[in-house]
Amino acid sequence: MTLAAAPLIVGLVAFVALLTVGGADIAAAAVPLGTVVFGLAAASSVGVLVLPRLSVRSSSLRRTVLAAGITAMIITGVAVTVSSAAVMLEPLQLSVLVLIFLFGASLGVILEFSLARSLSDDLQRLGATARRIGRGDYAARAEVDRSDEIGEAGRVIDRMALELQTMEGERAVAQASRQAFLAAVGHDLRTPLAAMRAAAEALEDGLAPEPARYYAAMRHDLDALTGLVDDLFLLARLEGGALRFSRVTVDVSELSDEAVEALEPIARLKGVRVRLDTSGHVYASGGPAELSRTLRNLLDNAIRHAPAGSEVTVLVRDQDGPLVCVIDRGPGLSGRDA
Low-confidence winner among 50-64, 120-134, 266-280 (lowest mean pLDDT): 50-64
The answer to whether residue 207 is domain-embedded is yes
| Residue-number span of the structural domain to which 276 is assigned | 181-327
Give the pLDDT confidence score for residue 254 in this predicted structure: 92
Burial 83-96 (b: 16+ CB within 10 A, else e): bbebeeeeeeeeee
Q: Per-residue confidence at 332, pLDDT binned at 50, 70, 90?
A: low
Instruction: Compare 274 and 148 and report the one with higher pLDDT.
Output: 274
Task: Judge whether residue 338 has pLDDT over 70.
Answer: no
Q: What is the mean pLDDT of the chain?
A: 77
255 and 313 both lie in a single domain: yes
17 and 81 both lie in a single domain: yes
107 and 189 both lie in a single domain: no
The answer to whether residue 176 is domain-embedded is no
The answer to whether residue 161 is domain-embedded is no
242 and 303 both lie in a single domain: yes
Task: Judge whether residue 253 has pLDDT over 60.
Answer: yes
> For the CA atoms of 15, 21, 23, 28, what is the dihedral angle to 10 degrees?
-20
Burial of 256 (0-12, 13-18, 19+ CB in 10 A): buried
Residues with Cβ within 8 Å of residue 69, at least 6 apart in sequence: 108, 109, 112
The answer to whether residue 333 is domain-embedded is no
196 and 312 both lie in a single domain: yes
For residue 251, the surrounding DSSP H or E stretch is: strand 248-251
122 and 186 both lie in a single domain: no
123 and 195 both lie in a single domain: no
For the chain, what is the domain count? 2
Closest CA to 138 of 113, 174, 164, 100: 164
145 and 247 both lie in a single domain: no
201 and 282 both lie in a single domain: yes
Q: What is the rounded radius of gyration, in angstroms, for the C-alpha atoms of the chain?
A: 44
d(CA 297, CA 303) in angstroms, rounded, equals 10
d(CA 207, CA 239) in angstroms, rounded, equals 48
- Mean pLDDT of the region 259-274: 87
The answer to whether residue 166 is domain-embedded is no
Give the pLDDT confidence score for residue 106 in this predicted structure: 63
Confirm if 269 and 276 have CB atoms less than 8 A apart: no
The answer to whether residue 169 is domain-embedded is no
User: pTM value?
Assistant: 0.44
Confirm if 290 and 253 have CB atoms less than 8 A apart: no
- Mean pLDDT of the region 296-314: 88
187 and 309 both lie in a single domain: yes
User: Which CATH number fits the domain that encloses residue 302?
Assistant: 3.30.565
Task: Judge whether residue 302 has pLDDT over 80.
Answer: yes
Instruction: Compare 159 and 53 and report the one with higher pLDDT.
Output: 159
pLDDT tens per residue across span 21-71: 666 666 666 677 677 777 777 877 777 777 666 655 666 666 777 777 777
Give the pLDDT confidence score for residue 314 in this predicted structure: 92
The answer to whether residue 39 is domain-embedded is yes
Confirm if 200 and 218 have CB atoms less than 8 A apart: yes
Low-confidence winner among 75-89, 276-290, 309-323 (lowest mean pLDDT): 75-89
Q: Considering 133, 152, 171, which residue would you say is the last residue of a domain? A: 152
Share of the chain above pLDDT 90, in %: 9
243 and 196 both lie in a single domain: yes
- Mean pLDDT of the region 70-87: 67
Share of the chain above pLDDT 70, in %: 71
Q: Per-residue confidence at 233, pLDDT binned at 50, 70, 90?
A: low
249 and 128 both lie in a single domain: no
- Mean pLDDT of the region 228-253: 69
Give the pLDDT confidence score for residue 107 in this predicted structure: 61
The answer to whether residue 337 is domain-embedded is no
> For the CA atoms of 49, 51, 53, 54, what is the dihedral angle to 10 degrees?
150
